[in-house]
């Protein structure tokens, strides 16, 4: 009996895939950094029983129309807006993701870029690197306090709750807006619920942690930035398309808000001439929310375990629906 064929769209460490080699025939894209090209992905998906994909791979209806053997798509991320889940389910293909294992790591990064933007840490590091530090002055690179300020979190899922716990350690006032009330969050004392309008207009820091949907695309737009406090800092650690980058650029450049910390962008990757990189008030990092060695290895393993379960006709650990 032939082994099932599993295709992995990025090169993973040998110690991750070795436990599955007895059960599967494994194909793998040869690069750790460059995404698989569209034609190769189509060809491999046509043959595969299982796919392990990254956010860079677009698993759309066109691709899914020609995958006669495919049973499972394991997306190595929490988000899965790169996969047409409805089209997959219509074909009986199970889609899985990697929640929980990256919650704390992503929350660390989200709060880290908040701190970096507020305290001008990247700008200050460059100040020394550029040999500009000649003397001390009272307001040299003076940023904004974080402690006792108000953090407004939009999207109170697992990561939002983890960020709120970190904020409490800084004696921050934490409010949240979510499509549905999270009473357990309020009972725990992590955050108070506010309307979206009130949250964006009264928070010192506004953080996007929402999934990308039709409703959240460009949720943070010019109108929203204009309603924020002039001293407010916007943080996005969710999906790039939840914000209008041009509107954010204009808001920061025009002094409508003080700055931003971004881990995500509308189109990724961005290049060094991107307009947002011209503003020292904006801290940009390359979608590294879950990028600790420990967490990425957990994400790899969970994705592989999900494929294993489906190919054995068992329930996957983390199906998206």
Other beta carbons less than 10 A from residue 276's beta carbon: 19
Does the annotation count 274 as an active-site position?
no
For residue 262, what are its two tokens?
């971004």
For residue 71, what are its two tokens?
């049973």
Dihedral sign computed on CA atoms, order 89, 61, 9, 158: negative
E-strand ranges in the chain read 5-8, 25-28, 50-53, 72-75, 94-96, 150-154, 173-177, 192-193, 205-208, 233-236, 259-262, 282-284
Q: How far apart are CA 8 and CA 23, in angstroms?
A: 15
Q: How far apart are CA 29 and CA 91, in angstroms?
A: 25
For residue 33, what are its two tokens?
């950094």
Pick the catalytic residue from 10, 120, 166, 287: 287
Does the annotation count 120 as an active-site position?
no
- Kindly give, in sequence order, each residue whose CB lies less than 8 Å from that of residue 139, ignoring residues fewer than 6 positions away: none
Does the annotation count 147 as an active-site position?
no
Q: DSSP label at 196?
A: H
Pick the catalytic residue from 61, 188, 231, 268: 268
CA 71 centroid distance within chain: 26
> Quick check: helix, strand or coil at residue 259?
strand
Identify the residue whose tokens are 């000649």.
Answer: 134
Q: How far apart are CA 152 and CA 101, in angstroms?
A: 24
Q: How far apart are CA 162 and CA 159, in angstroms?
A: 5
Pick the catalytic residue from 166, 239, 245, 256: 239
Nearest to 23 by CA among 319, 314, 312: 312
Burial of 21 per CB tally in 10 Å (0-12, 13-18, 19+): exposed
Q: DSSP label at 256?
A: S
- Kindly give, in sequence order, each residue whose CB lies less than 8 Å from that of residue 38, ignoring residues fewer than 6 positions away: 58
Catalytic residue IDs: 239, 268, 287
């Amino acid at each position: 009996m032939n082994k099932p064929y599993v295709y992995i769209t990025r090169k993973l460490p040998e110690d991750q895939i070795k436990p599955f080699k007895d059960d599967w025939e494994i194909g793998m894209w040869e690069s750790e950094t460059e995404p698989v090209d569209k034609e190769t992905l189509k060809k491999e998906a046509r043959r595969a029983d299982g796919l392990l994909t990254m956010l860079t791979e677009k698993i759309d209806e066109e691709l899914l129309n020609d995958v006669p053997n495919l049973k499972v798509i394991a997306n190595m991320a929490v988000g899965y807006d790169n996969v047409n889940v409805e089209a997959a389910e219509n074909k009986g293909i199970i889609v899985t993701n990697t929640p929980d294992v990256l919650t704390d790591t992503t929350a660390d990064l989200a709060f880290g870029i908040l701190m970096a933007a507020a305290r001008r840490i990247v700008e200050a590091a460059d100040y020394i690197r550029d040999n500009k530090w000649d003397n001390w002055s009272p307001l040299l690179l003076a940023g904004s306090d974080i402690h006792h300020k108000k953090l407004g979190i939009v999207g109170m899922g697992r990561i939002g709750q983890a960020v709120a716990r970190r904020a409490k350690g800084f004696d921050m006032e934490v409010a949240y807006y979510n499509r549905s009330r999270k009473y357990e969050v309020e009972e725990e004392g992590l955050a108070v619920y506010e309307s979206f309008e009130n949250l964006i207009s009264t928070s010192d820091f506004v953080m996007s942690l929402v999934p990308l949907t039709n409703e959240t695309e460009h949720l943070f737009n010019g109108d929203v930035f204009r309603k924020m406090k002039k001293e407010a800092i916007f943080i996005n650690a969710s999906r790039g398309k939840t914000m209008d980058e041009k509107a954010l650029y204009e808001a920061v450049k025009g002094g409508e808000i003080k700055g931003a910390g971004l881990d995500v962008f509308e189109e990724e990757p961005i290049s060094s001439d991107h307009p947002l990189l011209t503003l020292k008030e904006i801290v940009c990092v390359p979608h590294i929310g879950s990028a600790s060695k420990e967490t990425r290895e957990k994400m790899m393993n969970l994705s592989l375990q999900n494929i294993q379960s489906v190919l054995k006709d068992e329930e996957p650990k983390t199906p998206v629906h």
